[in-house]
Amino acid sequence: MSTNERVRELGTWLRESKRTVALTGAGVSTDSGIPDFRSPRSGLWAKHDPMQVASISGFRSDPAAFYGFWSERFGALGQAEPNVAHRVLAKLEARGLVHAIVTQNIDGLHQRAGSRRVLEVHGTWRTARCTTCGARFDTLRLFDDVPPGASARERVPTCDRCGGLVKPDVVLFGEALADDFAEAERAVDRCDLLVVLGTSLEVWPVAGLAPRARAAGARVVVINREATVADQEADLVIHAELREAMQRLARELDVTR
Ligand code: CNA
């Protein structure tokens, strides 16, 4: 089957389905200029050690190195705009063809594109919390009072109430998932079509949602540039750039406006 035929088949399944859940990952946002983790060369793990910059033990042992990585990323995340994949998913939801988006992304771009039911199972970068007293912060304001030329250690944000270390509300390796995950499992249990987009599906327990959907009797479709862990068990696999696949899908379902 050609990519065109596969996208047409997905269009038919979306029309037939009563409850479709989209499961998205970092690949949905690369066209917005946000690098993913595992793409060869451009992925963040090609340059950074995940255990240093994305684990709770790395955060606790060297918060300055952690924030050295993240404070640069906050700027990029704050400027990113939704792309065609986010926009088509939002339109599909508005037409009743997608019922929920379960996302591993922390960038908030689905909501910015207009999606309403978004379950952020790995949290969000926009807010942060004191690890001691739980006070909440707007991440972008965390660095407001940092003087220019401050050292990496001086840039580590601390709580203005208790002096505790402040951590962004993203789920790091070694941490429990966000509350949204239980809701995501319920949404997947009730769906009859799960469309997996832009994720290698190597991160657990999210990776378990694809076999979970199949066990509940749903069809599983994968759209990704490279092979994923879910391909073998999927009912339909579309290896393509998301921009092209989603544009074709939008034309197929007449949701281009
Ligand atoms: P990943 O393991 O990096 O996989 C991304 C997948 O997307 C890869 O298989 C790529 O081949 C594929 N891909 C990349 N760009 C495209 C494209 N334009 N078209 C089609 N396919 C593409 O990332 P996962 O999401 O699977 O891993 C889960 C991690 C990534 C979660 O913990 C996230 O928090 C984390 N993450 C999120 C963001 C974000 O919020 N935008 C960015 C980077 C990492």
ipTM of the complex: 0.98
| Residue 53, CA distances (Å) to 42, 109, 257 in order | 17, 22, 40
Cβ–ligand 1 contact at 125 (below 6 Å) = no
Whether residue 9 sits in one domain with residue 85? yes
Whether residue 103 sits in one domain with residue 221? yes
Whether residue 69 sits in one domain with residue 95? no
Are 36 and 43 in contact by the 8 Å Cβ rule? The answer is yes
Q: Which domain holds residue 75?
A: 35-79+125-170
Whether residue 138 sits in one domain with residue 39? yes
Are 104 and 206 in contact by the 8 Å Cβ rule? The answer is yes
Whether residue 68 sits in one domain with residue 140? yes
pLDDT of residue 204: 92
What residue's CA is closest to ligand 1, atom 16?
27
Q: What tens digit of pLDDT does each residue of 70-104 get?
A: 888 888 898 999 999 999 999 999 999 999 999 99
Q: Which residues pair with 123 in a beta bridge?
A: 170
Mutate to test the pocket of ligand 1, among 7, 32, 37 (most ligand atoms within 8 A of CB): 37
Domain limit, last residue, from 170, 185, 203: 170
Token pair in block for residue 210: 């694809």
CA distance 237 to 2: 11
Whether residue 44 sits in one domain with residue 10? no
pLDDT of residue 257: 63
Whether residue 94 sits in one domain with residue 51? no
Cβ–ligand 1 contact at 6 (below 6 Å) = no
CA distance 53 to 58: 6
Whether residue 227 sits in one domain with residue 187? yes
Q: Identify the three-state secondary structure at position 176.
A: coil
Summarize the confidence of residues 217-243 as an average pLDDT.
97
The CATH number of the domain holding residue 257 is 3.40.50.1220
Whether residue 236 sits in one domain with residue 156? no
Domain limit, last residue, from 135, 170, 205: 170
Q: What tens digit of pLDDT does each residue of 199-225 get?
A: 999 999 999 999 999 999 999 999 999
pLDDT category at 146 given cuts 50, 70, 90 is confident
Rg (alpha carbons) of the chain, rounded to whole number:
19
In this structure, what DSSP letter does residue 55 have? B
Whether residue 132 sits in one domain with residue 163? yes
The CATH number of the domain holding residue 57 is 3.30.1600.10
Residue by residue, DSSP assigns 144-172 as TTPPTT--TTTTS-B-TTT-PBEEEEEPP
| Residue 161, CA distances (Å) to 84, 92, 129 in order | 42, 44, 12
CA distance 113 to 80: 11
Please tell me the total count of domains within the chain. 2
Domain limit, last residue, from 111, 146, 170: 170
What residue's CA is closest to ligand 1, atom 6?
199
Q: What tens digit of pLDDT does each residue of 113-128 get?
A: 999 999 999 999 999 9
Q: Identify the three-state secondary structure at position 236.
A: strand
Whether residue 236 sits in one domain with residue 195? yes
What residue's CA is closest to ligand 1, atom 26?
199
Whether residue 229 sits in one domain with residue 105? yes
Q: What tens digit of pLDDT does each residue of 157-211 get?
A: 999 999 999 999 999 999 999 889 999 999 999 999 999 999 999 999 999 999 9
Chain centroid, CA 47 distance in Å: 20
The whole-model pTM stands at: 0.95
